[in-house]
Amino acid sequence: MRSRPAGRHLPTPRDMTNPDPPVHDDTIVEQRRQDRRRFSLRSLFGALFTLRRRRSRRKNDHLNTYIDWYEPWPLIASVVIILLSSLDAFLTLILLNHGAIELNILMDWLIKTDIRTFAAVKLAVTGLALVVLVLHFNFHIYRVLPVRYLMYALMPLYAFLIAHEISLLGDLPP
């Protein structure tokens, strides 16, 4: 039979059913319900500038993975698309003042209801779509089309739309 080290023993049923409540000392502070984390500029800068996951963890998982840190290109593309969307809304309102017709039923209703609501909804929908695209930047649609290419393709498509609207403005009589 093995002997136990001195001072250690296995709990017995009598130890587990001790009717005496534990004595609380004034120096012991209950910490389970307190949030002991402290905010500091060091923690903020650490969260902002510590390079986290830039790629997938495994070599084989480079497709369809979420990452924490993106290259600057998705941000640049998002800003350009938002600016082009704002310019599109502005040019649409100018064209509507000159007799053009809005073909999008929802946007037409919003324009007739309130122009500010139209602009807010247009930019909010575009911004939300961009957030979803950036989050899925490393994903592939149907395992064929990378989302990054879809996002980059939106910039020339929006630029083509802006060029078309400018050409429509050029065709208007003075």
pLDDT tens for residues 33-91? Answer: 666 666 666 666 665 666 555 555 555 555 666 666 677 888 899 999 999 999 999 99
Q: Which one is predicted more confidently, 138 or 133?
A: 133
Average pLDDT, the chain: 77
Give percent of the chain with pLDDT exceeding 70: 59
Q: Is the pLDDT of residue 161 over 70?
A: yes
In this predicted structure, the answer to whether residue 2 has a pLDDT above a threshold of 90 is: no
Asked if 148 contacts 138 with a C-beta cutoff of 8 angstroms, the reply is: yes
Q: Give the strand pairing for 145-146 and 140-141.
A: antiparallel
Percentage of the chain exceeding pLDDT 90: 36
What is residue 126's predicted lDDT score, i.e. its pLDDT? 94
Cβ-contact 125, 110 below 8 angstroms: no
Reported as half-sphere exposure (CB side, CA atoms, 13 A), residue 1 has a value of 2
Stronger pLDDT, 69 or 143, i.e. the higher one:
143
DSSP per-residue letters across 53-107: --S-SSGGG-SS---S---HHHHHHHHHHHHHHHHHHHHHHHHHHTT-----HHH
- Its pTM stands at 0.62
For the chain, the domains span 74-165
pLDDT for the residue numbered 66? 67
Contact between 147 and 133 (Cβ < 8 Å): yes
Question: What pLDDT is recorded for position 137?
Answer: 81
Determine the pLDDT at residue 156: 93
